[in-house]
Amino acid sequence: MNNRLSNKGLMGIVAALSLSIAVLGQNKVEQKVQFYLDGKVGNELIKKGTYPISIPRAENGKEGVMEIKVGKRVVTAPFTKRENPTTADADKMTYRENDDGTRTIASITPKGQKFSLILQDGATKVADK
């Protein structure tokens, strides 16, 4: 009898732990995004290519910090999330032209999502993996 209760208790703990891990894993949207033009995020140049990005789940109008994995570096950038009426059928970006002829990425809309990330000017952080 005691052994049976012990197994049920253990199964309950395992189920609760699994649920907690699943909920924690849902705090970010992670997917690959195609950058179709070279563009800066803050002072960091992101070359044309496909990169994994990680976006914390945030409500409309909420701010957060996204990560772009570029080789062995991780470039982070603050954003404000804006909901879109439809799901994006492709990765979309808007750019601003800089005085020196370079471009700065202004917004990113990942394929399959109903939101855009409006990137804030300036602040970025770069770290090695």
- 6 part of a folded domain: no
- 80 part of a folded domain: yes
Instruction: Tell me the two tokens of residue 15.
Output: 């189920």
- 4 part of a folded domain: no
- 60 part of a folded domain: yes
C-alpha to C-alpha distances, 100 to 30, 42, 50, 107, 125, nearest whole angstrom? 32, 14, 25, 20, 22
| pLDDT score recorded for residue 117 | 94
CB contact at 8 A, 80 and 62: yes
- 44 part of a folded domain: yes
- 47 part of a folded domain: yes
Helix and strand numbers, DSSP H then E, in the chain? 1, 10
Quote the number of domains for the chain: 1
- 108 part of a folded domain: yes
Burial class, 9, CB count within 10 angstroms (exposed 0-12 / middle 13-18 / buried 19+): exposed
Structural domain harbouring 35: 29-128
pLDDT digits (tens, 9 = 90+) for 54-71: 998 766 668 999 999 999
pLDDT band per the 50, 70, 90 thresholds, residue 7: low
- 14 part of a folded domain: no
pTM for the model: 0.73
pLDDT digits (tens, 9 = 90+) for 20-58: 444 444 588 899 999 999 999 988 999 999 999 999 876
